Amino acid sequence: MMSHATRLAALRAELSSLDVDGFLLPRGDEHLGEYVPDSAARLAWLTGFTGSAGCALILPDRAIIFSDGRYQLQLAQQIDPALWQYGHLYETPPQNWLARHGGLARIGYDPKIISEVELRPFIAAGCLMIPLGRNPVDAIWRDRPAVPASQVTIQPDRWTGRSAEDKVATLAETLRDEGQNAVILPDPGCIAWLLNIRGSDLPYLPVALCFAILHAEGTVDLFIDPGRLADPVRAHLGTTTQIHTPDALQGALIALGGKTIRIDQARCPVWFAQTLREAGATILDGVDPCLLPRACKTAAERDGMREAHLLDGIALTRFLCWFEKNGIGLSETDLAGRLLAFRLEADSCLGASFDSIACAGPNAAMMHYMPHRGEDAVIGREMFFLIDSGGQYRSGTTDVTRTIWTGDRPPASWCDQYTRVLKGLIALSRAVFPEATPGYRLDPLARHALWEAGLDFDHGAGHGLGSYLSVHEWPLGFTRRPVLDPVHEHMVLTNEPGYYAPGSHGMRLENAMLATLDTIGEAGRYLRFETLTLAPIDRRGIDVTLLTQTEIDWLDHYHARVFRMLSPYLGDDESAWLNHVCQPL
């Protein structure tokens, strides 16, 4: 096996043969997704960094990896400092670093794995960016895993609430109204939603990796290995969807020459626009038309999400009860596996929605820490144990975090921090706001109590949640940055404030919420949130003197609902435990 030093040296030699001085390597794959198959985990293979966001810049004499605030501690632990520097994506933008250190260097990039929006800042900064005909990492990756090829399955209309034919017809009408002949769909999650299909190409995201072109005439070209589609799936897709092999994609793009094509330049590899422009097509930048209708759940999807969160709450509550008696002395990996086992007892649970973040003590200070057997911590007494996890159910997707104190009561300063995190959860849960308010305007609600004590957390306060699709779905949710993604009725988002003390401890609380109509007033429609997650919140870290009566009432009412909804599905001992931990403050 090649060492990381050997890999970096081999890449530099490959770049020299391609007549470029450096290389920009994003973390994403050809679909620009958060989850990538092993065959496309180029950044992890080259550097050792396994986080879900970031990029690398390789120059002849230096190399650097960038990621966001969730992964700064993980970067420091996973990369070799003799080979790599690391930086913060937003505090030290990669294009600024390259402009300072790259000079007039020719920097290669693979146009199939970077969007036009991602590329544009480098060009604006004066960097000389050179598209490459092949990915240089692939050229040196001798034992690269095979590309996944799972069988495509059907997501029944009873869970989607809309037929694929209806979705295709509606979006095609949108294209016609906007004078567009077609839209490029590179996101398998959007294709899965549009055609009511699923797959298992990725560990936690139930999709089949593929591309599609939706035409204004109401037809779809789907680019996927035909052998992955059994007869029932072909019948489901009907005559409006034409199946093509993946190698037919370039020819199909060239055939669109002279037409007006919609491309979401933030979510589509720049190779598509480059190919279409060379063919004589007119490119119009437009948001992927699947995003908004996918995010606004149908009545069937809303009912499905409630069912999924009920099942998930049963599993998590049984785990938390079990943990109280059995958790001390077990490893983080053991506990993550045990929680998944509880989830899988439900027939409709098909697995985890992401790699569980099970962390104790100082590990909990790493926001997206993943335990690895043999390197993980053992749960002891008098520490915080944070478990952030979720399940993929046929009716919906879940994501929930609880932080448990393993002793009688944390130190007073830690209780203060924990209570401020809880206050943030409650404040965002109780929000009432105009429809289409951008999530970043609501994000401060989750932070205000922490800000009052000079504290904060370096991640968004929540994200969109899919319906048996991605656990991280558009809209981006409650962000620190001024992202204009609006919150509309029927969207499902998470609410997850936290606090992290490097080298000491960390805490986070997370519920999923459904945006619902609150009132229609003179100024328009106002929304509120319905909490979907059902699981007790550990009270041992709460300093009641920091809570208002309104906050106490919210938590008491929430716990009463948790007990009422879950207790009929629990054993006698589990129900008694839940009754105890759900008592009013």
| Residues pairing with 210 in the sheet | none
Residues 305 and 231 in one domain: no
- Cβ atoms of 54 and 67 within 8 Å: the answer is yes
CATH number of the domain that 570 lies in?
3.90.230.10
- The Cα 302–Cα 522 span in angstroms is 28
- The Cα 201–Cα 246 span in angstroms is 15
Assigned domain for 146 exists: no
Residues 248 and 344 in one domain: no
Q: Which of 224, 259, 289 marks a domain boundary?
A: 289
Residues 458 and 561 in one domain: yes
Residues 226 and 284 in one domain: yes
CB contact burial 267-292 (16+ within 10 A = b; e otherwise): bbbbbbbbbbeebebebeebebbbbe
Residues 351 and 272 in one domain: no
Residues 119 and 210 in one domain: no
Residues 281 and 381 in one domain: no
Residues 38 and 135 in one domain: yes
- Helix (H), strand (E) at residue 272: helix 270-278
Name the domain count of the chain: 3
Assigned domain for 582 exists: no
Q: What is the DSSP string of 334-396?
A: HHHHHHHHHHHTSTTEEEESS--EEEEGGGGGSTT----TTTSPBP-SSSEEEEEE-EEETTE
What one-letter code names the amino acid at 555?
A: L
Indicate whether this model's pTM tops 0.85.
yes
Q: In terms of residue numbers, what domain contains 516?
A: 296-575
pLDDT tens, N- to C-terminus, the chain (585 residues): 789 999 999 999 999 999 999 999 999 999 999 999 999 999 999 999 998 899 999 999 999 999 988 888 889 999 999 999 999 998 999 999 999 998 789 999 999 999 999 999 999 999 999 999 999 999 999 999 999 999 999 999 999 999 999 999 999 999 999 999 999 999 999 999 999 999 999 999 999 999 999 999 999 999 999 999 999 999 999 999 999 999 999 999 999 999 999 999 999 999 999 999 999 999 999 999 999 999 999 999 999 999 999 999 999 999 999 999 999 999 999 999 999 999 999 999 999 999 999 999 999 998 878 888 988 999 999 999 999 999 999 999 999 999 999 999 999 999 999 999 999 999 999 999 999 999 999 999 999 999 999 999 999 999 999 999 999 999 989 999 999 999 999 999 999 999 999 999 999 999 999 999 999 988 899 999 999 999 999 999 999 999 999 999 999 999 999 999 999 999 999 999 999 999 999
Give 3-state DSSP helix, strand, coil % of the chain, rounded to 5.
Answer: 40, 20, 40
CATH number of the domain that 281 lies in?
3.40.350.10
